[in-house]
Homo-oligomer: A and B are copies of this chain.
């Protein structure tokens, strides 16, 4: 997307995830246009994307509301990711070249450095983590799969999850990636898929556990 609608997307997304708006509240195109600093036209394009990502929902009469993600919704998202990224890992294991695996290893070295010290660097972790997962999805060479995952993977959820990780959780995450790389080197699709599956399922439970705590804290 070009400048204005890309900017609209980014700003509105930030606005939605900033926590200042309440789930379920109504929004208007005009409001969002003001938030994004552009006219309604690019805002509409951004809204379509956000709707596809289910950060916005539409009433039957086309009015727009901030989506309200339940625990079940998050569960479902992680379940779908587990299936689809597991499949991506499986395909990647069949296709990755040694050079590409080297590259993954390099990215994961970065990730290790971010978490192996005394105080983990969450931002660095997230960056490396995103690059790592995207590289695998990319290596699966399946445009549809890539597109569907792009819709499903909500980085803010990943962020919130990572924030809940203990130092040990983060290190385990890095070790999962190590094992994925081993599976790739071995060219074992089933292994890769299984590792990816447990990696993501654990992430869900970390997230869900944290959400429970939040609920208790209220």
Contacts and interface: CB of A to CB of B under 8 A. Distances in A.
Given A48-B45, A83-B84, A84-B83, A76 B142 contact: yes
Contacts of A151: 148
A87 interface: yes
Interface residues of A, number: 24
A8 to B, nearest CB: 14
Interface string A137-151: 000001111011001
Interface string A42-67: 00110010001010000000100000
Interface string A11-55: 000000000000000000000000000000100110010001010
The count of identical subunits is 2
Nearest to A2: B62
A76 B87 CA distance: 11
List the 6 closest pairs (A to B, CB-CB), nearest first.
Answer: A76-B142, A148-B148, A76-B144, A48-B48, A83-B83, A80-B144
A98 interface: no
A77 interface: yes
A82 to B, nearest CB: 10
A40 B148 CA distance: 27
